[in-house]
Each structure stands twice: as structure tokens, then as C-alpha cells.
């Protein structure tokens, strides 16, 4: 971890199943404001940091502008440039404003949707080891029984995506 990145207190968000987006009944979504320090951490360095902590399948892009979730994987979003309003938890959830330097850790099942972003908005996204083949779900009617079971069976990460085995994610997500 480079000196600019230090663990900060995470904001926890819990979301109820809204009938379309299942969310996660046990694990909170975590928002780490400004955790990456100066907003000049390159996407490649961010990918390296995540990989060092066992999070892979990394990509650089924005966030889809429709509500979606992953039933078979947790996800981390590291904001590397710009700013955005992201709706979490489905249409009736919470909108969080994020900017370069912020990190969001999203448990399996929690909906997310880009509700507006600057033209330079970009995130590095990644998944815990073994969960890199994530699905993309949108809350269609036929998904329910399968995804509820899948969400319950997603393994907890082996390490915090930014702080490894010493990070607070493991304590906050202990079942």
C-alpha cells in the first residue's frame, strides 16, 4: 500500500429487498470516502493494489446507468477520476455522491446504478479471488429463486481489497 492510502472509517449502508433488487440481508455496503488519498492513483496502480490483496478481474470504466447487481460476487469500485451520483439498493435505495479517491465495497445482491456523472468519471472495479466470473442481473421476474440462493452462498473475501488481511472489511463482514 502506498503512503497516500490509509484506512479511514467506512460508512455502512444496509438495504432491504425491494421485490426486484434483492440486496443483501447480512452484509453492509461500505463507502470509504477519500481512502485513496490524493485522487491521482493511476488505474494500473489501483489494479495492482487490488490484485495484491486478492481481488481480480479488474476493469476500468464507468457504472451502468440502469439498476443491476451481481448475485454470485462481491464488487469493489475505486473511483480514479471524476465524480458521480450512484443509486444503491434499487430505485428506492440511497444515492451516494462519490469522487476520485473514494472506494465502495458492494456485497453480492446490492443494486447499483449511475444516476449522473462527470464526463471524466471512471472507476476500477474488481472482485474477490474466485468470483471474477460475475453475473449481471437486473431484477427480472424469473431471477428470484436462483439469485436468492446464490447470494446466500457467495463466500466472504479472503482479504480487504485495499488493506489486505489487516483491513476492517473482514470484521465488518463476519457472519
pLDDT digits (tens, 9 = 90+) for 109-153: 999 999 999 999 999 999 999 999 999 999 998 888 899 999 999
Reading the block at residue 43, the C-alpha cell is: 488505474
* Distance of alpha carbon 146 from alpha carbon 2, whole angstroms: 41
124 within 8 A of 43, measured Cβ to Cβ: yes
Q: In what order do the strands lie in the sheet with 75-81?
A: 11-13, 29-32, 103-106, 75-81, 122-128, 55-61
Whether the per-residue pLDDT at 85 is higher than 60: the answer is yes
- For residue range 7-26, list pLDDT tens digits in order: 678 899 999 999 999 999 89
What is this structure's pTM? 0.93
Mention every residue, 6+ apart, whose C-beta is less than 8 A from residue 143: 71, 137
**pLDDT value, residue 8:** 75
* Distance of alpha carbon 102 from alpha carbon 83, whole angstroms: 9
* Distance of alpha carbon 137 from alpha carbon 140, whole angstroms: 8
Whether the per-residue pLDDT at 3 is higher than 90: the answer is no
Exposure string of 23-47, with b = 16+ CB inside 10 Å and e = fewer, is bbeebbbbbbbbbbeebebebeebb
- Report the DSSP beta bridge partners of residue 124: 60, 78
Write down the mean pLDDT value for the chain.
92
Q: In what order do the strands lie in the sheet with 83-88?
A: 94-99, 83-88, 112-117
R_g (Cα) of the chain, nearest Å? 15
Whether the per-residue pLDDT at 162 is higher than 70: the answer is yes
* Distance of alpha carbon 81 from alpha carbon 84, whole angstroms: 10
The structural domains of the chain, ordered by start, are 11-162 (2.60.120.10)
Half-sphere exposure of 106 (CA within 13 A, CB side): 30
Amino acid at each position: 500500500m502506498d503512503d497516500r492510502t490509509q484506512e479511514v472509517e467506512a460508512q455502512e449502508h444496509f438495504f432491504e429487498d425491494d421485490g426486484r433488487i434483492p440486496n443483501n440481508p447480512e452484509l453492509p455496503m461500505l463507502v470509504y470516502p477519500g481512502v485513496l488519498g490524493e485522487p491521482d492513483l493511476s488505474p494500473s496502480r489501483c489494479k495492482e493494489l487490488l490484485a495484491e490483496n486478492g481481488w481480480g478481474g479488474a476493469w476500468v470504466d464507468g457504472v451502468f446507468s440502469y439498476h443491476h447487481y451481481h448475485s454470485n460476487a462481491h464488487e469493489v469500485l475505486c473511483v480514479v477520476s471524476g465524480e458521480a451520483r450512484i443509486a444503491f439498493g434499487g430505485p428506492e435505495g440511497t444515492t451516494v455522491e462519490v469522487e476520485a479517491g473514494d472506494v465502495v465495497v458492494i456485497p453480492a445482491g446490492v443494486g447499483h446504478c449511475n444516476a449522473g456523472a462527470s464526463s471524466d468519471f471512471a472507476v476500477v472495479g474488481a472482485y474477490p479471488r474466485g468470483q471474477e466470473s460475475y453475473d449481471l442481473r437486473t431484477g427480472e421476474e424469473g431471477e428470484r429463486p436462483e439469485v436468492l440462493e446464490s447470494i446466500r452462498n457467495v463466500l466472504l473475501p479472503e482479504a480487504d481489497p485495499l488493506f489486505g488481511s489487516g483491513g476492517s472489511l473482514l470484521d465488518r463482514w463476519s457472519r
